[in-house]
């Protein structure tokens, strides 16, 4: 296992340089190009004016890497020749998955750390009057969201049998909890005749990147962090902000628990992975098989709640059929799956009619 780990480290030195360069171009180069003369000539650095430090750029770079790297690391499972070579090594498949997982994680964090340090040094030399200690807070705060997105991508991607199926499944599973939450909150609001406001966007795995950076980056220049969990009784604005903070906390805990479970699931299930599945139809419940019916139900219910025309429902059904053909790689989607999908559609339509009829 140690020899394989060393081999994977050496093999990924060039990708490490490429990902680091990607982060540097996206984050450090804009800082170097920015003119900070106006800010540096201010006598009062506590003013409401803030210099553009591009902290959100490194968050975006890290978010992109947390999706791209696990796809790159585990893409060998989608190629017949590669999977045969890896599975013929004198090491168990579980150990291969464990080493690949942590090498990819190390690759992501190393590229992020190098670029972040270079950006920090550039800002420290170019800009005056900043509370640079908050750079440490931002760096540490982004580690967990990156792990969440990386783990979810690694697990879902490896459930598929082709790269295309894996990428589509990752996108689908990432948006699904937020859309379900949105539909449920709208349904409850309609049934109870009360406005149940929930910030559904906080249940998208990428949201913590945006939230953390938007709050802490302002503190670099102002020395003051935007408060979390402000008193909701002060104003309607703070009430919404308080709800968003609660949703953000719950969403973060939800996805962290999911990420840990998926990491364990990746290692445990690896011994059951068969090389002959490579390139075949992705039959995992985490891929099309379950996602298509759930998305169809969610979109149909949302269309009833929103009061849209029947034409939109027809488009939803057409989209479900197209995705089913992509899933089955044939215009014949199969009698059993067609019955399952039809039952879901019928149930969604009946429930939608009941909801709008009350």
Q: Would you kindly state where each structural domain of the chain is located, as residue ranges?
A: 2-173+191-273, 287-358
Assigned token pair, 275: 């090389």
Q: Is the pLDDT of residue 232 over 50?
A: no
What per-residue confidence (pLDDT) applies to 43? 46
How many CA within 13 A on the CB side of residue 245? 14
Confidence of residue 231 (pLDDT cuts 50, 70, 90): very low
- Rounded CA gap, 9 and 23, in Å? 20
What per-residue confidence (pLDDT) applies to 203? 76
What per-residue confidence (pLDDT) applies to 73? 92
Question: Can you give the three-state secondary structure of 316-350, one letter per residue?
Answer: HHHHHHHHHHHHHCCCCCCHHHHHHHHHHHHHHHH
What per-residue confidence (pLDDT) applies to 49? 58
What per-residue confidence (pLDDT) applies to 42? 59
How many other CB atoms sit within 10 Å of the CB of residue 210?
A: 17
CA distances (Å), origin 109, targets 16, 135, 142, 254: 10, 16, 10, 22
What per-residue confidence (pLDDT) applies to 69? 94
Share of the chain above pLDDT 90, in %: 20
CA distances (Å), origin 106, targets 103, 109, 150, 194, 264: 5, 5, 11, 48, 18
**pTM of the predicted structure, to 2 decimals:** 0.85
What per-residue confidence (pLDDT) applies to 153? 93
pLDDT digits (tens, 9 = 90+) for 68-104: 999 999 988 887 777 778 777 788 888 888 999 999 9
Which residue's structure tokens are 């609001």? 189
What per-residue confidence (pLDDT) applies to 154? 94
| 227-244: average pLDDT | 50
The torsion of the CA quartet 162, 165, 170, 175, rounded to 10 degrees, works out to 180
Give buried/exposed letters for 120-156 (b at 16+ CB in 10 A, else e): bebbeebbeebeeebbebbbebbeebbbbbbbbbbbb
CA distances (Å), origin 166, targets 118, 266, 353, 354: 34, 14, 35, 36
CA distances (Å), origin 233, targets 8, 241, 246: 55, 11, 15
**Nearest one of 155, 140, 105, 112 to 259, comparing CA atoms:** 155
Q: Is the pLDDT of residue 337 over 50?
A: yes
What per-residue confidence (pLDDT) applies to 39? 58
pLDDT digits (tens, 9 = 90+) for 159-173: 888 888 889 999 988
Q: Are 147 and 106 in contact (CB under 8 A)?
A: no
- Rounded CA gap, 241 and 230, in Å? 8
pLDDT digits (tens, 9 = 90+) for 91-143: 888 888 899 999 999 999 999 999 999 988 888 887 776 667 778 888 888 89
More confident residue, 198 or 2: 2
Confidence of residue 270 (pLDDT cuts 50, 70, 90): confident
| 10-22: average pLDDT | 92
Provide Rg for the chain, Cα atoms: 24
| 40-46: average pLDDT | 54
Average pLDDT, the chain: 80
Q: Is the pLDDT of residue 222 over 80?
A: no
Q: Is the pLDDT of residue 223 over 60?
A: no
H or E stretch covering 44: none
pLDDT digits (tens, 9 = 90+) for 176-218: 888 888 887 777 777 666 666 666 677 777 776 677 777 676 6
What per-residue confidence (pLDDT) applies to 106? 94
Confidence of residue 315 (pLDDT cuts 50, 70, 90): confident
């Amino acid at each position: 296992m140690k020899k394989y780990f060393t081999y994977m480290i050496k093999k990924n030195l060039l990708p490490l340089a490429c990902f680091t360069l990607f982060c540097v171009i996206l984050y450090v180069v804009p800082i170097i190009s920015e003119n900070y003369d106006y800010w540096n000539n201010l006598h009062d650095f506590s003013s409401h004016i803030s210099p553009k430090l591009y902290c959100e750029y490194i968050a975006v770079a890290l978010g992109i890497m947390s999706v791209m790297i696990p796809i790159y690391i585990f893409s060998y499972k989608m190629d017949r020749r590669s999977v045969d070579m890896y599975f013929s090594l004198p090491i168990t498949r579980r150990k291969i998955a464990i080493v690949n997982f942590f090498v990819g994680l190390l690759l992501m964090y190393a590229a992020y750390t190098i670029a972040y340090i270079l950006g920090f040094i550039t800002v420290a030399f170019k800009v005056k009057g900043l509370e640079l200690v908050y750079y440490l807070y931002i760096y540490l705060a982004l580690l967990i969201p990156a792990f969440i997105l990386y783990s979810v991508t690694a697990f879902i991607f490896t459930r598929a049998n082709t790269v295309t199926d894996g990428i589509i499944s990752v996108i689908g599973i990432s948006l699904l909890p937020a859309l379900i939450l949105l539909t449920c909150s709208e349904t409850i609001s309609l049934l109870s005749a009360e406005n149940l406001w929930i910030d559904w966007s906080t249940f998208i795995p990428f949201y913590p990147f945006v939230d953390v950076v938007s709050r802490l980056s302002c503190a670099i220049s102002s020395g003051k962090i935007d408060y979390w969990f402000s008193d909701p009784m002060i104003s309607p604005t703070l009430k919404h902000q308080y709800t968003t903070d609660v949703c953000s906390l719950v969403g973060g805990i939800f996805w962290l628990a999911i990420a840990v479970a998926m990491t364990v699931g990746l290692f445990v299930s690896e011994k059951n992975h068969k090389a002959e599945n490579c390139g075949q139809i992705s039959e995992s419940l985490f891929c099309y098989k379950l996602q298509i019916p759930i998305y169809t139900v969610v979109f149909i219910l949302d269309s009833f709640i929103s009061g849209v025309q029947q034409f939109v429902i027809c488009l939803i059904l057409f989209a479900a059929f197209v995705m089913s053909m992509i899933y089955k790689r044939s215009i014949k989607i199969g009698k059993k799956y067609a019955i399952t999908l039809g039952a879901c559609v019928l149930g969604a339509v009946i429930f939608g009619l009941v909801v709008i009829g009350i």
